[in-house]
Amino acid sequence: MIEIERSGALNTVQDLGRPAWRHLGVSVSGAMDTLALRAGNLLAGNDENAAAIEVQMFPFRVRFLRDTRIALTGADCRAQLDGEALPPWWGCQVRSGQVLELHYPRVGARGYLCVAGGIDVPEVMGSRSTALRGSFGGFGGRQLQRGDRLPLGEASVLALPAHGMGIAPPLVALASVFPFNRDGHIQLRAIPSGEYPLFAADHDRFWQQSWQVSMQSNRTGYRLAGAPIQPSKVVEMRSYGLIPGIVQVPPAGEPIIQLSDANTAGGYPKIACVIEDDLWRLGQLQPGQSLQLVRSDAREALAIKQAVDAWLNRVRCDVPSMSKVAGLC
Amino acid sequence: MVALVSELRNHAIPVATAEDGESVTLSTMGGRAWLVEAPGAFDLPAQRRIWSLARLLAQRNDVESLIPGVTNLLVLFRTIQPDSEAVETQLRAYWRQAQEVHPQGRLIEIPVCYGGEHGTDLDAVCRHSGFSAREVIRRHYQGEYTVFALGSAPGFGYLHGLDPAVATPRKKIPSLNMLKGTVTIGGAQAGVSVLTGPNGWNAIGYAEIEVFDPYAESPALLAPGDTIRFLPERIEL
């Protein structure tokens, strides 16, 4: 068990989500930064899809009620274990009674606390992710609050070095794969989508300007503020299924990027879709920060996915787990 | 996949061979999803071919999810598909193969309290249609509706079959906190909201109905192809 001692709004239990139920209108949910979740779980000796705590409101404090192993990934939340600083992207043993505190991040927006065995809340529709809109999954279908005691699953055999071990975060290890522009804004690769041709007059503006993440941004989607873009004619769309990453343009002309908790269907014109392996970068962007959308295609998306998979494989091999004993690496 | 097929109840009655006619519109969402949009009107024949297309594609191992929309289908492959021409050629071939299926859906009757405190947009529908409130309500409950697709929120059904004379565009400014169970009109579509929250459709009444239970073996009450009738339980004007 672990006990939440302090938490802000919208800190939730998340795994990789429930993608199999979209045809019933059920959002995928799941971690906003799936790369941090997957790597964190590997470092904790878990399955990549094990449930963890996504922390996006700080400070956040948790007490361990048994000896276990943890991994911290995602944003650098200036973590302290019993008052001692822990590095970001770090895995270590913790003892029963120890207290971990996460603070407002220096860089990034969301921290992930993975615990050996995973957060063992019941699976609902094949996932332990919290579906906030439907109020199911996760811990009682809601955000975490003080006093919640979360059960842990059965931990695998894994002996981390006594002092713990770190892994280089993807922005370091994969620096060439995840670029920034000259202004220091992240560049997200996006592939033109359905109504892209209707915005022909504004294509340059769409790709070239820096879009600012507005305050009306959350796990459902990010609204982008900037010089508006308009279609050459107003089209009446029939409701269509959509996926996280789709960039829609409501009548006001400021795009919305749909994310983990997005509706499964929408009706606004869609101009582009951010590639899946870039979505974690949005999960680490705070309102007020800016981004640039860069035109891409499926071939580039595939190359980026392969680089990410190769990196996760290296992480898997670096962690001294049973896989090494079994000779898999 | 399996869930989807069972939802269509497997009672296909092929009717006349589907004419090729106009071709489908294809577009991508990212590297592994295609939206297939049926040509033509917002009508049952188009939707029946969409259901059929979903059934055909459900047999492919490289398809991860199929999400039917309103006369369209989102096809999500398991892996990124760099050769988009090959994918689109195949999708067009499947569309030509797709013949109208007539799923034998269930009949679900939903008692409605029309007007009253939850029918906040009944006046707007009257203004747009030129009918009295009583006439709008009569035309609404006399319709026979077909569930075209589920989406947007868990278990929400997009209903086709609204009398075109009372179709009313979505609101420019959505209601911020529309109650779950509100009976609504969104353009030419009808629906019953399933979550309390922001909603841009026009509220004309209220129904006490649970359409989604995440813990049930079959979580959604409605399925594509089901028939819906609204019963005027009470009219408050």
Does A19 contact B152 at a Cβ distance shorter than 8 Å? no
Nearest to B80 among A24, A245, A305 (CB): A305
Q: Is the pLDDT of residue B202 over 50?
A: yes
What whole-number distance in Å separates Cα of residue A44 and Cα of residue A79? 16
What does the CA dihedral A19, A21, A23, A28 come to, rounded to 10 degrees? -40
CATH code for the domain of B65: 3.30.1360.40
Domain that holds residue B230: 107-236
CB contact under 8 A, B66 and A23: yes
Q: Does A131 contact B214 at a Cβ distance shorter than 8 Å? A: yes
Helix or strand (DSSP H, E) at B225: none
In whole angstroms, give the CA distance from residue A115 to residue A133: 26
pLDDT score, position A236: 74
- How many other CB atoms sit within 10 Å of the CB of residue B120? 16
- Residue given tokens 């975490």 in the structure block: A144
Q: Which CATH architecture has domain A186-296?
A: Beta Barrel (2.40)
Q: Report how far residue B84's alpha carbon sits from residue B90's, in angstroms, rounded to the nearest whole number.
A: 10
- Among B48, B72, B97, give the residue marking a domain's end: B97
Per-residue confidence at A321, pLDDT binned at 50, 70, 90?
Answer: low
The answer as to whether B102 is a domain residue is no
Q: Rounded to whole angstroms, how far apart are CA atoms B87 and B235?
A: 52
Query: Looking at residue B175, what is its pLDDT?
Result: 87
Per-residue tokens: A106: 């220096």
**Which tokens is A239 given?**
């409701």
Based on the domain organization, do B128 and B70 belong to the same domain? Answer: no
Task: Verify that B44 and B153 share a domain, yes or no.
Answer: no
Task: Indicate the SS3 state at residue B117.
Answer: helix
| Number of domains forming the structure of chain B | 2
Question: The CATH number of the domain where B120 resides is what?
Answer: 2.40.100.10
DSSP letters for A263-326: -SEE-S-EEEEE-GGGHHHHHTPPTT-EEEEEE--HHHHHHHHHHHHHHHHHHHHHS-BHHHHT
Q: Which residues of A touch B68 (CB under 8 A)?
A: 23, 241
ipTM of the complex as predicted: 0.94
Residue found by looking up tokens 């670029």 in the block: A179
Determine the average pLDDT of the residues in A157-182: 90
Residues B131, B42 share a domain: no
Q: To the nearest whole angstrom, how far is the Cα of B12 from the nearest Cα of chain A? A: 20
Q: Which of B42, B67, B187 is nearest residue A22 as measured by Cβ atoms? A: B67
Instruction: Please indicate, yes or no, whether residues B130 and B213 belong to a single structural domain of this protein.
Output: yes
Query: With an 8 Å Cβ cutoff, are B65 and A20 in contact?
Result: yes
Domain ranges of chain A: 2-169, 186-296
Contact B219 A191 (CB under 8 A): no
DSSP B88: H
My answer on whether B134 and B90 are in the same domain is no
A81 neighbors A122 (Cβ within 8 angstroms)? no
Its sign, for the CA torsion B123, B128, B134, B136, is negative
| Beta-carbon separation of A134 and B67 below 8 A | no
Mutate to test the interface with A, among B1, B29, B50 (most CBs of A within 10 A): B29
User: At residue B167, does pLDDT exceed 90?
Assistant: yes
Yes or no, beta carbons of B30 and A274 under 8 Å apart: yes
Residue B103 parent element (H or E): none
Residue B106's nearest CA partner among B13, B205, B230, B225 is B225
Q: Which of A23, A29, A242 to mutate to test the interface with B (most CBs of B within 10 A)?
A: A23
Last residue of a domain, one of B64, B97, B130: B97
Dist. CA B154–CA B218, nearest whole Å? 12
pLDDT band at residue B172 using 50, 70 and 90 as cut-offs: confident
Question: Which pLDDT tens digit goes with each residue over B47-87?
Answer: 999 999 999 999 999 999 999 999 999 999 999 999 999 99
